[in-house]
Amino acid sequence: MTDLRQLLAVNLKRFRGELGLSQAKLAEKANTSTHHVAMIELTRQFPSPEMLGKLAFALEVDTLELFSMPPAPARALKKLHTAVLLDLREAVETAVSQVVDRHIEALEE
């Protein structure tokens, strides 16, 4: 996604969602109209630099974050992969300990 309008639209929706804001509430906080916010989110309008600053302030983000790539699904997948590997390591360690304990008990008999 390299189109700035589309990137801005995706991020506005994402940040709005994270704060639980409707388009109307964001518009109120940014001192603009709901229609203007909707048109930006539909990529039909591009805000002025001043409006970008107001939107960023209302969304509690830095203006540059409005144009940052959304977190990649790969990041979430990496966290899941790490968790699975840690669980696997624990399971293997437990299984190996049980086998070693059984062998030790058998030797002691």
| Confidence bin at 64 (pLDDT 50/70/90) | very high
Structure tokens at 99: 């086998």
Q: State the fold for domain 4-67.
A: 434 Repressor (Amino-terminal Domain) (1.10.260)
- pLDDT tens-digit profile of 23-60? 999 999 999 999 999 999 999 999 999 999 999 999 99
Domain edges within the chain: 4-67, 72-109
Question: Global pTM?
Answer: 0.64
DSSP codes, 9-72: HHHHHHHHHHHT--HHHHHHHTTS-HHHHHHHHTTS----HHHHHHHHHHHTS-GGGGGSPPPP
pLDDT of residue 1: 44
